[in-house]
Structure 1
Amino acid sequence: MQHKVLGPAIFVLSGMQLLMVLDGTVAALALPKMRDALSLSESNANWIISSYVLAFGGLMLLGGRLGDTFGRRRMFVIGVLAFTATSLLCGLAQGEAMLIVGRALQGASAAVAAPTAMALVATTFAPGKPRSQAFAIYAAMTGIGSVAGLILGGVLTELSWRLVFLINVPIGLVVGVGALWALAESQGERLSLDVPGAVLGTLGCTLLVLAVNEGPQGWVRPIVVGSFIVGTLALIAFVVVERRARNPILPFTLFDNSNRVAALIAILLSSMIMMCMAVFISLYLQGILKYTPLQSGMAVVPFAFGLGVAAAIASKLSLMVQPRWLVLAGGAVIAAGCMYAWSIATDAPSYFPGIGMPVVVIGFGVGLAVIPLTLSVVAGVGPNEIGPLTAIAQVAQQLGGAVGLVAVGAAVTSRALSKGGTTAPVETMNARQLAAQADGYGLAFASCAALAVLAACVVMFMRFTPEEVAEGQAAQQAADAGVDGEEPEARPVPAANGPSSQKPAPRRGYRPDDPPTEPIPVRPDGPRPRTPNEWSLPAPDGGPFEDEDDERLGVAETGRIFMSTRNRHSR
């Protein structure tokens, strides 16, 4: 069954995406209020954010596998309703432990709903223009939710911090019930779940983050040393399990390309910067400058506009210059904005230029750097590799944000304590302690500048060319549109009883000086059904995939041409 793009199906799927983006934005904005209401220390308050993103990132690949195995609509509905229930738990939390556990469960629910929602977009809408339009609407929810969350979160937090979670309940119920009515079941190839891999990976990351978070209060305490040791062993076991698993949740073959590894590391570092800036700017504005939550949200809105303008520029320039140069430029802009914010952190600055200017500058730098990195992850690959690489990039974003927030938060706490500060709630601090806390927030901004410089150093090892980026964009469009390879209008029409008399159009992303290949015969037995792999999505009608290119290109010939071209580009 095919659906209209502007029908109930896309509103249900994009509604869940909007809900998750809103939740992440308003939670960061409401963090100071939650910290003060529950009398949390600075380090414990960070766990309200970190517990969510750790569970989200660590379990996302498992969530996608659950949808493939048990049915995407079924798991999407379960994920949405679980997200709704855990939002209610967070909104009613009476203490620190209940709120942090609720946030972790909320992140685990999002890890099931998010990947199944993306897969349902791909399988619900017809290949070609309808599917591309559906993906565009789905992706637009990220930008809309980010800006709306800053404003809505400020309004809700002014009334009560509990409302930022309780608002999810009616929306989640509408999305969950709507999914049962508007979506058809879709199920991929049944694969083993690799639960040990998911558990070990998430456990290892969580314990290492716990060790870093608790470190400033004593690095040789048993909880710190024990967390470091057990977390490290868990990650080692994760690597061993994944290399032996029949259907690993994280295929290590995707890391064979050193250029792509550099891009993923840079994405992780950039996510650290974005998460730290979102949280610590909010804490600084509300805790030190005494902004209201609404004023704090409005003060950060220019960040989104700076990011949007830079993203539009970077998406065009990525096809003209090597992506690493754009990332270097973006890193320099981020570092400059963060260093300026550090220099004025203890001066009680006015909004402009003290706050507004670095917010816009940092947003512009993030947009200039992140877009080329996102394109580089899928540079020079075919449509079948888009799915797993995109999922790994999303995991890097989530885990990077969690690790960065806790690591920089530990540095903030250590700095404040060294200057005579305290770990008590901000509302109980005297003038001297507030000055020490402001100095700690200044160090957070300086740490973001250092992370930007580190990311710039990493991307020096990234050698992707504009041609490879264009090839990746074409593959992304092909994957979204449901075609494998070139766009439909570029395909020659074979003759009825013999080889095609038309010369095939060159594939987008190929260099014009590519040497010609020998004639390729028509397959006499017609198109060959494609055997789905663990990353394949079924056709919208549930039938098998068929590659129209196989009418004139044998599978071996197609793979040989693609690999030879990619090898020439990577040299």
Structure 2
Amino acid sequence: MTAQPRPSLALLVIAAAQLLIVMDGTIVTVGLPAIGTGLGMAETDLDWILTAYALAFGGLLLAGGRAGDLLGRRRLFRVGLVVFLAASVLGGVAQNGGMMIAARVLQGIGGALIAPAALSLLADTFPAGPARNRALGVYGAMGGLGAVVGLLLGGALTEYLGWRWIMFVNVPFAVLLLVGTLVVVPGTRQRGGIDLLGAVTATLALGSLVYAINRAGSDGLDGQTLAFGAAGVALAVAFTVIQRRGRDPMLPAGLLADPGRLGANLVMLLMGAGQLATFYFLTLYMQSIKGYPPMITGLAYLPFAIGIGIGSGMVGPRLRARTSARTTLASGLAVAAVAMGWFSLLTPDQNALATLLPAQLVAGIGLGIGFVAATISGVQGVAAQDSGIASGLVNTSQQIGGALGLAVLAGIAGAAGAATRDAMTDGYTTGLLGAGGFYLVAIVAAVVLLRPRTQSPTPVTSAAPQPSVQ
């Protein structure tokens, strides 16, 4: 069936898909203790339930974007939803930690097919200009809001239905989205190849580096840590060589030649690093230090969701319409950094909600502003046939930033905190200050790299778009 032009319905489907895959990056966070108990996983292994998803998702996003450009964006969107659905069932029936981590990897693969196809379909549906910018604003908001919705929903499901429903809840959503693809345009296609070697090399490089960083935080620089670190560096070098010499590189050289696009992706990476770490440390503080049950922990994130909505839906678009991209980004990131400093005031015995709730509102507003501005800047100035690659890179930056940032800050927090409640709280607040440090570095990147665009969109690949035959 050929999709009819229904932009509003198509935007609803595309935005809901983005919400789903981003939500699943954090939906397990509140339920981690229950999952560990249910599957007999050691506490030190629980973070891999988060990072497995982020690594598979982020490491394969660029290949997923290229596959959508070549094989058909709506087709890959549908395939990704089927993979995501199957992975959610596998996670829901998991009998051990290995099955759960495998399910999370498979979910990440499905997300890597869905996300770039969704953003490219959005560009195919809305012409360049105010209409597309508004649609991109909605899409960008889902990137920030989805993470908070995952925390809220994960807490409710864990407490009232059990942790397995954290995975099962995706099934009806995926089915509805598959039906909804009937109103989505097929999108454009082009000829060329898919850089599977580059995708696998990048994913293995990132996985090795994250493992080395995690291990260094707990075991120091032992032989295994150094070996994985060296392997990660070697694989990263191999990936660079493959991209320079390959016939169909996953990351074309021209994609990051534009300083503004480079800056937008660097900012998104740093924002992802700070955001995932913030959720991780706040969840540990609320459950391990304050003893909040999963439902209360999830509800405590509601101000964050409200702030994201205000920042991305109201403040961000208006600020972007009146100022430059770098001013908008710097403003939002400064607000988020202030919130991290506010979180650092948490203590074991205080009325934590008096600090948590207003600080989360402020953090949400700042990140909401930043997500909208970074998303728009990351795909502006790209020719239509390359929108899948550009959109994949935007999502890659956020996911890889989350995995690397969590690994780094968890190690720092572990070094700062011991077994007492006071020391553990000090470790968590140190990690939160580290997240604020990421936002401050992102401000510098935005100021230095983002400049007003004067040139017309230019292709970063040599392939020309071909009509869709779906």
Q: Which amino acid aligns with 2:329?
A: V
Kindly state the Cα deviation for residue 182 of structure 1 after the two structures are TM-superposed. Answer: 6.3
Evaluate the alpha carbon distance shift between residue 210 and residue 142 of structure 1 in structure 2; reply closer, same or farther with a 3 A threshold: closer
Distance across 2 between alignment mates of 1:178 and 1:327: 33
* TM-align CA RMSD: 3.4
Distance across 2 between alignment mates of 1:262 and 1:178: 34
Q: Which amino acid aligns with 1:198?
A: A
Distance across 2 between alignment mates of 1:14 and 1:319: 22
Matched, 1:441 2:428: yes
User: Is the contact made by 1:211 and 1:224 (CA closer than 8 Å) also made in structure 2?
Assistant: yes
Q: Which amino acid aligns with 2:351?
A: P
Distance across 2 between alignment mates of 1:535 and 1:412: 49
Q: Which amino acid aligns with 1:349?
A: N
Distance across 2 between alignment mates of 1:365 and 1:135: 18
Evaluate the alpha carbon distance shift between residue 40 and residue 212 of structure 1 in structure 2; reply closer, same or farther with a 3 A threshold: same
Residues 238-294 of structure 1 deviation map (CA, whole Å, 9 limit, x = unaligned): 011111112211012222234442332222111111111122212221221112222
Q: Which residue of 2 aligns with 1:252?
A: 253
Larger relative contact order, structure 1 or 2 (CA cutoff 8 Å, min sep 6): 2
User: Is the contact made by 1:270 and 1:451 (CA closer than 8 Å) also made in structure 2?
Assistant: yes
Kindly state the Cα deviation for residue 307 of structure 1 after the two structures are TM-superposed. Answer: 2.7
Q: Which residue of 1 aligns with 2:437?
A: 450
Evaluate the alpha carbon distance shift between residue 121 and residue 448 of structure 1 in structure 2; reply closer, same or farther with a 3 A threshold: closer
Kindly state the Cα deviation for residue 7 of structure 1 after the two structures are TM-superposed. Answer: 8.8
User: Is the contact made by 2:217 and 2:410 (CA closer than 8 Å) also made in structure 1?
Assistant: no
Evaluate the alpha carbon distance shift between residue 196 and residue 177 of structure 1 in structure 2; reply closer, same or farther with a 3 A threshold: same
User: Is the contact made by 2:217 and 2:411 (CA closer than 8 Å) also made in structure 1?
Assistant: yes
Q: Which amino acid aligns with 1:278?
A: F
Distance across 2 between alignment mates of 1:183 and 1:317: 30
User: Is the contact made by 2:290 and 2:348 (CA closer than 8 Å) also made in structure 1?
Assistant: no
Evaluate the alpha carbon distance shift between residue 39 and residue 358 of structure 1 in structure 2; reply closer, same or farther with a 3 A threshold: farther
Q: Which residue of 1 aligns with 2:342?
A: 340
Q: Which residue of 2 aligns with 1:554?
A: none
Identify the range of structure 1 (8-17 vs 315-324) with the bigger mean alpha-carbon deviation.
8-17
Distance across 2 between alignment mates of 1:117 and 1:41: 36
**How many residue pairs align between the two structures?**
465
Other structure's SS at 1:344 match: coil
Distance across 2 between alignment mates of 1:377 and 1:126: 17
Identify the range of structure 1 (93-102 vs 198-207) with the bigger mean alpha-carbon deviation.
93-102
Kindly state the Cα deviation for residue 54 of structure 1 after the two structures are TM-superposed. Answer: 0.8
Distance across 2 between alignment mates of 1:176 and 1:325: 39
Evaluate the alpha carbon distance shift between residue 140 and residue 392 of structure 1 in structure 2; reply closer, same or farther with a 3 A threshold: closer
Q: Which residue of 1 aligns with 2:315?
A: 313
Q: Which residue of 2 aligns with 1:491?
A: none
Q: Which has the larger radius of gyration?
A: 1
Q: Which residue of 2 aligns with 1:407?
A: 408
Q: Which residue of 2 aligns with 1:462?
A: 449
Q: Which residue of 2 aligns with 1:209?
A: 210
Q: Which amino acid aligns with 2:426?
A: D
Evaluate the alpha carbon distance shift between residue 269 and residue 5 of structure 1 in structure 2; reply closer, same or farther with a 3 A threshold: same
Distance across 1 between alignment mates of 2:204 and 2:442: 26
User: Is the contact made by 1:327 and 1:368 (CA closer than 8 Å) also made in structure 2?
Assistant: yes
Q: Which residue of 2 aligns with 1:323?
A: 325
User: Is the contact made by 1:209 and 1:403 (CA closer than 8 Å) also made in structure 2?
Assistant: yes
**Aligned counterparts, 1:161-240, within 5 A:** 161-176=163-178, 179=181, 188-240=189-241
Kindly state the Cα deviation for residue 120 of structure 1 after the two structures are TM-superposed. Answer: 4.3
Q: Which residue of 1 aligns with 2:282?
A: 281
Residues 113-141 of structure 1 deviation map (CA, whole Å, 9 limit, x = unaligned): 22233444555x58689x95987776675
Kindly state the Cα deviation for residue 314 of structure 1 after the two structures are TM-superposed. Answer: 3.2
Distance across 2 between alignment mates of 1:440 and 1:307: 26
Distance across 2 between alignment mates of 1:366 and 1:61: 24
Evaluate the alpha carbon distance shift between residue 182 and residue 338 of structure 1 in structure 2; reply closer, same or farther with a 3 A threshold: closer
Kindly state the Cα deviation for residue 399 of structure 1 after the two structures are TM-superposed. Answer: 0.6
Q: Which residue of 2 aligns with 1:398?
A: 399
Q: Which amino acid aligns with 2:198?
A: G
Q: Which amino acid aligns with 1:459?
A: A
Distance across 1 between alignment mates of 2:14 and 2:315: 29
Q: Which residue of 1 aligns with 2:34?
A: 33
Evaluate the alpha carbon distance shift between residue 40 and residue 459 of structure 1 in structure 2; reply closer, same or farther with a 3 A threshold: same
Distance across 2 between alignment mates of 1:4 and 1:96: 45
Evaluate the alpha carbon distance shift between residue 100 and residue 18 of structure 1 in structure 2; reply closer, same or farther with a 3 A threshold: same
Distance across 2 between alignment mates of 1:71 and 1:29: 36
Distance across 1 between alignment mates of 2:212 and 2:416: 18
Other structure's SS at 1:401 match: helix
Distance across 2 between alignment mates of 1:224 and 1:196: 25
Other structure's SS at 2:55 match: helix
Other structure's SS at 2:24 match: helix
Task: Provide structure 1 residue ranges, at least 5 long, that are not aligned to the other structure.
Answer: 422-431, 476-483, 486-529, 543-571
User: Is the contact made by 2:115 and 2:395 (CA closer than 8 Å) also made in structure 1?
Assistant: no
Residues 388-419 of structure 1 deviation map (CA, whole Å, 9 limit, x = unaligned): 33321221111101111121112222222xx3
Q: Which residue of 1 aligns with 2:297?
A: 296
Kindly state the Cα deviation for residue 108 of structure 1 after the two structures are TM-superposed. Answer: 0.9
Q: Which amino acid aligns with 1:315?
A: P
Identify the range of structure 1 (79-88 vs 307-316) with the bigger mean alpha-carbon deviation.
307-316
Identify the range of structure 1 (310-319 vs 249-258) with the bigger mean alpha-carbon deviation.
310-319
Evaluate the alpha carbon distance shift between residue 158 and residue 332 of structure 1 in structure 2; reply closer, same or farther with a 3 A threshold: same
Q: Which residue of 2 aligns with 1:102?
A: 103
Q: Which residue of 2 aligns with 1:428?
A: none
Q: Which residue of 2 aligns with 1:358?
A: 359
Distance across 2 between alignment mates of 1:69 and 1:118: 15
Evaluate the alpha carbon distance shift between residue 329 and residue 187 of structure 1 in structure 2; reply closer, same or farther with a 3 A threshold: closer
Distance across 2 between alignment mates of 1:193 and 1:223: 33
Q: Which residue of 2 aligns with 1:429?
A: none
Distance across 1 between alignment mates of 2:359 and 2:136: 32
Distance across 1 between alignment mates of 2:466 and 2:293: 47
User: Is the contact made by 1:5 and 1:134 (CA closer than 8 Å) also made in structure 2?
Assistant: no
Q: Which residue of 2 aligns with 1:558?
A: none
User: Is the contact made by 1:88 and 1:166 (CA closer than 8 Å) also made in structure 2?
Assistant: yes
Matched, 1:52 2:67: no
Q: Which amino acid aligns with 2:270?
A: L
Identify the range of structure 1 (16-25 vs 250-259) with the bigger mean alpha-carbon deviation.
16-25
Task: Provide structure 2 residue ranges, at least 5 long, that are not aligned to the other structure.
Answer: none
User: Is the contact made by 1:38 and 1:95 (CA closer than 8 Å) also made in structure 2?
Assistant: yes
Residues 311-355 of structure 1 deviation map (CA, whole Å, 9 limit, x = unaligned): 332333334444334433333332322122112233443312x21
User: Is the contact made by 1:92 and 1:162 (CA closer than 8 Å) also made in structure 2?
Assistant: yes
TM-score by length of 2: 0.87
Evaluate the alpha carbon distance shift between residue 535 and residue 314 of structure 1 in structure 2; reply closer, same or farther with a 3 A threshold: farther
User: Is the contact made by 2:119 and 2:388 (CA closer than 8 Å) also made in structure 1?
Assistant: no
User: Is the contact made by 2:28 and 2:151 (CA closer than 8 Å) also made in structure 1?
Assistant: no
